[in-house]
């Protein structure tokens, strides 16, 4: 039986997804990455869970519902472009967001709840990013300076929910929404 993976993430608005996808298509031939992320798969990961039994998924859903009630909606602003891996042949091209304390507080609560449920999570510091492309395949070295020069994607987006996603490696888009959990303001009203 093939294992599947799950993760908790902040979804992007349709407008931001469209803007990122339009920009990606416009530069794809100039910057040859093996894979450009599908528009519907853009997200900002809070916790990668890996494989999860139905019992653990049920526990995650209960925990995320409770966490959603403890966090008010907030806004994120897109920021610089960056890479992970070798700067001359990066593994990941990503778009960042400006630091927002609400995001870091939300991620910390999600991370801790998932650890308490029993997930083995990555212990690297949280580096919020939206993966745009994977695996540089250019004949010359990648240039972060060159791609920053053509980075025109800007904007804000509201964060009013978190999502439990399931990964399907055999299809595109490959992330399926399993459950959504609204963030609720101080008055207890859903946005």
The residues pairing with 10 across neighbouring beta strands, listed in sequence order, are 44
Q: Quote the distance between the C-alpha of residue 72 and its chain's center.
A: 19
Query: Which member of 71, 129, 156, 168 is catalytic?
Result: 129
Sign of the alpha-carbon dihedral angle for 93, 37, 47, 120: negative
Neighbouring residues of 126: CB distance < 8 A, sequence distance ≥ 6: 104, 107, 108, 111
Residue 43 falls in the annotated catalytic set: yes
Tokens of 67: 């966490």
Bridge-based pairing of strands 161-167 and 92-97 is unpaired
Query: Which member of 43, 71, 156, 168 is catalytic?
Result: 43
- Side-chain half-sphere exposure of 144, counting CA atoms within 13 A: 16
Residue 129 falls in the annotated catalytic set: yes
Tokens of 148: 């920053």
Active site (catalytic) residues? 43, 129
């Amino acid at each position: 039986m093939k294992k599947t993976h799950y993760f908790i993430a902040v979804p992007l608005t349709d407008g931001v997804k469209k803007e990122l996808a339009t920009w990606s298509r416009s530069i794809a031939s100039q910057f040859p990455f093996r894979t450009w992320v599908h528009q519907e798969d853009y997200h900002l990961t809070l916790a990668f869970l890996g494989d999860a039994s139905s019992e653990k998924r049920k526990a995650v859903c209960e925990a995320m519902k409770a966490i959603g009630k403890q966090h008010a909606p907030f806004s994120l602003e897109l920021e610089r472009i960056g890479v992970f891996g070798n700067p001359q042949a990066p593994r990941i091209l990503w778009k960042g967001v400006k630091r927002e304390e609400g995001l870091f507080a939300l991620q910390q609560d999600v991370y801790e709840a998932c650890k308490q449920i029993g997930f083995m999570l990555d212990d690297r510091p949280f580096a919020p990013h939206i993966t745009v492309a994977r695996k540089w395949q250019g004949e010359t070295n990648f240039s972060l300076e060159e791609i920053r020069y053509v980075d025109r994607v800007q904007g804000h987006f509201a964060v009013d929910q978190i999502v439990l996603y399931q990964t399907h490696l055999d299809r595109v888009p490959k992330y399926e929404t399993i459950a959504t959990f609204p963030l609720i303001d101080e008055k207890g009203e859903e946005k």
